[in-house]
Amino acid sequence: KPETKVINMSDYFKRYAGVAAAMLVLITSSYFFMQQQKTYEQEDTFDSPELALQELKKQLVMVSNYMNSGSSNLDKLGSMSKMDAGMESLKYMGDAARGMEPISEMDILEEKF
């Protein structure tokens, strides 16, 4: 007597339902991705090249103004380098303080007498 193979439908469904769900998600996401790519196509916004050139010049002037306002703040930092030259003279104060050390020793000697 030949043996018959018993197929359980719940095992069959579980096995192939996951594959079908993954394919459905893949197809749906690729469809939405393609639709999104179509919406970002380049469009002409100006009817004439002269208008486009004028708008470009206006935008470049605006960007230039922003860049120049930022560089004026950096100019203030450049003036700090001038202070460095003035600060170099302060290093001589340390030398003067070392020169005063013998005087402070003289005060101590006076107290002993």
CA–CA distances in Å: residue 6 to residues 9, 11, 19: 9, 11, 22
Residue 5's pLDDT band, with cuts at 50, 70 and 90, is confident
Maximum pairwise Cα distance, the chain: 132
pLDDT per residue as tens digits for the range 34-93: 888 776 666 667 788 888 899 999 999 998 888 877 666 666 666 666 666 666 666 666
Q: What pLDDT sits at residue 30?
A: 94
What percent helix, strand, coil does the chain show, rounded to 5?
A: 80, 0, 20
CA–CA distances in Å: residue 41 to residues 17, 34, 37, 44, 92: 37, 12, 7, 10, 69
6 has pLDDT over 90: no
Q: What pLDDT sits at residue 20?
A: 92
Q: What pLDDT sits at residue 84?
A: 66
Residue 52 structure tokens: 């486009």
pLDDT per residue as tens digits for the range 9-26: 787 787 788 889 999 999
* Prediction pTM value: 0.31
Angstrom distance (rounded) from CA 93 to CA 69? 39
> Cα 107 to the chain's mean position, in Å?
61
Domain residue limits, the chain? 9-40+49-112
